[in-house]
Amino acid sequence: MKEIEKYLFLNEAAIKFGIPYETLKNKVKPSLANQEQIEEMIERGIIRFFEAPRDPEKKYTRSKKSWLVTEQAIKEWFPGI
């Protein structure tokens, strides 16, 4: 497996593992219940996100966070997979 293949976009992971996209999206949505887990998984390098910085000159449209996850993260969230 190539290194780049270890990282999946949320939609890609949803299709690969047969998990509803909204279910995966909720796993990375910050809440009091899972914020600590998200931070720990980011620290371990099994999930990450990109969020464009705010542009005061409005040269580009700021989009939402784009998440990448690994198979390890999926297995931790859904042990039966």
CA angle, residues 68, 69, 72, in degrees to nearest 5: 160
Q: Span 28-37, mean pLDDT?
A: 85
> Domain limits of the chain?
3-77
What is the pTM (predicted TM-score) of this model? 0.82
Judge contact between 6 and 14, C-beta under 8 A: no
pLDDT of residue 62: 66
Letter for the amino acid at 78? Answer: F
CA angle, residues 40, 51, 9, in degrees to nearest 5: 70
Q: Minimal CA–CA distance to 66: which of 42, 47, 50?
A: 50
Above 80 in pLDDT, residue 28?
A: yes
pLDDT of residue 46: 97
